[in-house]
Chains A and B, each alone.
Chain A
Amino acid sequence: MMGKPAWAMISRLCRWLSMVAIFALGILAHSSGLTASVAEYWGDIRYLSIQHLELTAISGAMAIVIGIPLGVLLARGKLGFMGPIIAQIVNLGTTIPTLAILALAMTVLGLGSPPALFGLTVLTILPIMLNTIAGLRSIPPALIEAARGMGMTNGQILMKVELPNAMFVILAGIRTALAINIGTVPLAFLIGGGGLGELIFTGIDLMDTGMLLAGAIPTALLAILVDIAASQVQFWLVPRGINPLR
């Protein structure tokens, strides 16, 4: 597991790289008169961006709802021999190429958004689960002892002590997960899931650079916007006492 500073550094690096990429693209687009051809797709961009965000929001939410409880159970060692097995399955979800997962999901769930959501969720669970485990394990045993000694129930210890104090690390995991998720959503188009991939892949097939960029640039922008939003949530939601950013 990487430390918090390493995560912060990577996410900052990603942000800068995307910025540079956008500028480069912008210059390229303008010099070759592409800006105008991209603007032609404004209606599609708007419609598909919303669809894109919907896919991310739904699969992200499902990953959070599954990943955090799974992380809690694994960190507690409550699952016994099932624990390592589940951890391995989740690991596989990230190791197997996303395209393969989407293809496999398609064979079972058919075409459209259900298999896309399934694939994206599987992809997104791992960082959330790993960070939940790391966050919970980093809590000093003395805190738990004090909480128990003062008469908190196990549920109260989890909700009032463990999760709040692991929140920064968990949110860092969610942030990473969302960044991966939003960048992967274009693949959903390949199994009929929609999203900005429609413009990107169609643009590639038609060798239409304007169309391709009409999909690629908004994808990059969405990734940046979601990351900024997530970082703001992390900044304001985590109390000052345990927030290294404040």
Chain B
Amino acid sequence: MIRLENLSKHFASSIAVDGVSMEVAEGEVCVLLGPSGCGKTTTMKMINRLIEPSSGKVFIDGRDTSSVDVVELRRSIGYVIQQIGLFPNKTIEDNICIVPDLLGKDRKASRRRAAELLEMVNLDPAIFSKRYPKELSGGQQQRVGVIRALAADPPVLLMDEPFGAIDPINREVIQDEFMKLQASLKKTVIFVSHDIDEAVKMASNVAIFRSGKLVQYDTPDNLLAHPADSFVADFVGTDRTLKRLRLISVRDAMTADPPRVRAEDPAELATALMREHDHASIVMVGPRGRARGYVRRDTTEGRAEPISELFEKLPCMINVNDNLRNAVSMMFTNDLSWLPCVDDDGFYKGYITQQGITHLLGATYRDI
């Protein structure tokens, strides 16, 4: 979708971007990451030609951008900046519709679209459409900044540290909202950031820059597991393995299809199952397979009554779609070494252990 070919930018006394080549596939979020002055913003601005490249080419959808009229090019690319840049003299609605209006689209249709977009970021159009930017909080303004870039439905979105100036709590919320929006709109996004956590959270691929050069272009998990050099390793942080926890879902880490018992089963069956799998406890499920409780091996050993008289309540369960970071946090909070994993309807799907997680994370390092 977007291809950079040997892209360079030389300023009078310095080289800002030096021979960058990369490709971003359609619907992906590519985060350009690096310390300030590394050339990531310059690279992004060469895509919509706010900065003209010294050499090299940019292709969008196979079309050389230098052959397209620059105004037409920019109108076909959504653009979000850190300072938001809403026009204070225009209402929120008119701000959102700037590009559709420039393109001469039907006013009523674009105003309707603006209201839809406002709803998508949890701003009530009845309240916000006619307000002015100064009447909104910073977080609300940047939500408008993002949907303004989406109003003309451009296939490509450029975002220059869009959430950098927003407080940490709101930033998380807006990031989540944007991911939800992106999941349904599937834009091709180039996202400049200096925050590794943000990159790991949002990116399909991360491009790490250092003094104008692209040093590693990889998936977040690979980046964290196998940094290309010591600069990347330093940049992603010494706790990079912990950061990977967020990238792995419980579903991928759990032991699926585990042994289970029903309430009416006798204790001997539970003991036998636990002995067979070498477990210290086993989950009890309801008639249709929902996780209801668990029994310990030292409780059932030598007993014969039904499980329903011996089971204990499960202190907590984790959803299979959750990530390992939350799973580990839940284990630490409840002083547990394992967690039962359930789906959205509460059906028992598997279990996850501290040892299993350690093993999984360690495996990628042992491979090399």
Best-surrounded residue of B74, B84, B99 (most CB of chain A within 10 A) = B74
Q: Are A150 and B81 in contact (CB under 8 A)?
A: no
How close is A230's CB to chain B, nearest CB, in angstroms?
20
Contacts of A148 on B, CB cut-off 8 Å? 50, 74
Contacts of A241 on B, CB cut-off 8 Å? 88-91, 132-134
Number of interface residues of A (CB under 8 A): 22
In the assembled complex, the Cα of A151 lies from the Cα of B99 at a distance in Å of 8
Q: Are A149 and B102 in contact (CB under 8 A)?
A: no
Instruction: Say if the beta carbon of B75 comes within 8 Å of chain A.
Output: yes
In the assembled complex, the Cα of A215 lies from the Cα of B71 at a distance in Å of 58
Q: Are A151 and B74 in contact (CB under 8 A)?
A: yes
Instruction: Choose the segment among A14-22, A93-101, A138-146 that binds chain B (4+ C-beta atoms closer than 8 Å).
Output: A138-146
Instruction: Say if the beta carbon of A192 comes within 8 Å of chain B.
Output: no
Per-residue contact bits, chain B 72-94, to A (CB 8 Å; 1 contact, 0 not): 11111001010111111111000
Q: Are A142 and B72 in contact (CB under 8 A)?
A: no
Contacts of A153 on B, CB cut-off 8 Å? 71
Contacts of A145 on B, CB cut-off 8 Å? 50, 81, 83, 85
Contacts of A87 on B, CB cut-off 8 Å? none
Per-residue contact bits, chain B 257-268, to A (CB 8 Å; 1 contact, 0 not): 000000000000
Q: Are B89 and A150 in contact (CB under 8 A)?
A: no
How close is A179's CB to chain B, nearest CB, in angstroms?
25
How close is B332's CB to chain A, nearest CB, in angstroms?
43
How close is B19's CB to chain A, nearest CB, in angstroms?
25
Q: Are A146 and B88 in contact (CB under 8 A)?
A: no
Instruction: Say if the beta carbon of A165 comes within 8 Å of chain B.
Output: yes
In the assembled complex, the Cα of A241 lies from the Cα of B148 at a distance in Å of 18
Q: Are B132 and A240 in contact (CB under 8 A)?
A: yes
- CB-CB contacts below 8 Å: B108-153 with A: 132-134, 148-149
Of A140, A149, A239, which one neighbours B89 at CB under 8 angstroms? A239
Q: Are B102 and A165 in contact (CB under 8 A)?
A: no
Contacts of A149 on B, CB cut-off 8 Å? 48, 50, 74, 79, 81, 158
Contacts of A242 on B, CB cut-off 8 Å? 88-89, 132, 134
Contacts of B75 on A, CB cut-off 8 Å? 150-151
Contacts of B48 on A, CB cut-off 8 Å? 149
**A238: nearest chain-B partner, CB-CB:** B89
Main secondary structure of the interface of A (DSSP, over half): helix
- CB-CB contacts below 8 Å: B190-218 with A: none
Q: Are A142 and B81 in contact (CB under 8 A)?
A: yes
How close is A246's CB to chain B, nearest CB, in angstroms?
10
Instruction: Say if the beta carbon of A161 comes within 8 Å of chain B.
Output: yes
Of B83, B132, B148, which one neighbours A140 at CB under 8 angstroms? B83
Contacts of A140 on B, CB cut-off 8 Å? 83, 85
Q: Are A142 and B102 in contact (CB under 8 A)?
A: no
A-B contact count (CB 8 A): 73
Given contacts A148-B74, A150-B98, contact A165 B81 (CB under 8 A): no
In the assembled complex, the Cα of A127 lies from the Cα of B132 at a distance in Å of 29
Per-residue contact bits, chain A 142-182, to B (CB 8 Å; 1 contact, 0 not): 11011111111100100011001101000000000000000
Contacts of B149 on A, CB cut-off 8 Å? 150
In the assembled complex, the Cα of A164 lies from the Cα of B94 at a distance in Å of 14
Contacts of A143 on B, CB cut-off 8 Å? 85, 87-88
In the assembled complex, the Cα of A90 lies from the Cα of B81 at a distance in Å of 39
How close is A222's CB to chain B, nearest CB, in angstroms?
32
- CB-CB contacts below 8 Å: A210-228 with B: none
How close is A241's CB to chain B, nearest CB, in angstroms?
3
In the assembled complex, the Cα of A150 lies from the Cα of B85 at a distance in Å of 11
Given contacts A165-B88, A241-B134, contact A146 B71 (CB under 8 A): no
**B148: nearest chain-A partner, CB-CB:** A150
Contacts of B91 on A, CB cut-off 8 Å? 241
Given contacts A146-B79, A241-B132, contact A151 B71 (CB under 8 A): yes
In the assembled complex, the Cα of A161 lies from the Cα of B89 at a distance in Å of 8
In the assembled complex, the Cα of A156 lies from the Cα of B75 at a distance in Å of 13
**B69: nearest chain-A partner, CB-CB:** A151
Q: Are A150 and B88 in contact (CB under 8 A)?
A: no
How close is B67's CB to chain A, nearest CB, in angstroms?
17
Contacts of B84 on A, CB cut-off 8 Å? 142, 146
In the assembled complex, the Cα of A241 lies from the Cα of B92 at a distance in Å of 10
How close is B101's CB to chain A, nearest CB, in angstroms?
9
Q: Are B79 and A165 in contact (CB under 8 A)?
A: no
- Chain B positions near chain A (C-beta within 8 angstroms): 48, 50, 71-76, 79, 81, 83-91, 98-99, 102, 132-134, 148-149, 158
21 A-B pairs (CB sep. < 8 Å) = A142-B81, A142-B83, A142-B85, A145-B81, A145-B83, A145-B85, A146-B79, A146-B87, A147-B85, A148-B50, A148-B74, A149-B50, A149-B79, A150-B79, A150-B98, A150-B99, A151-B72, A151-B73, A151-B75, A156-B102, A241-B89
The 5 A-B pairs of least Cβ separation, nearest first, read: A146-B85, A241-B132, A151-B75, A142-B83, A151-B74
Seed contacts A148-B50, A151-B102; 12 additional CB < 8 Å A-B pairs: A140-B85, A142-B84, A143-B87, A145-B81, A146-B84, A148-B74, A149-B158, A150-B79, A167-B89, A239-B89, A241-B91, A241-B132
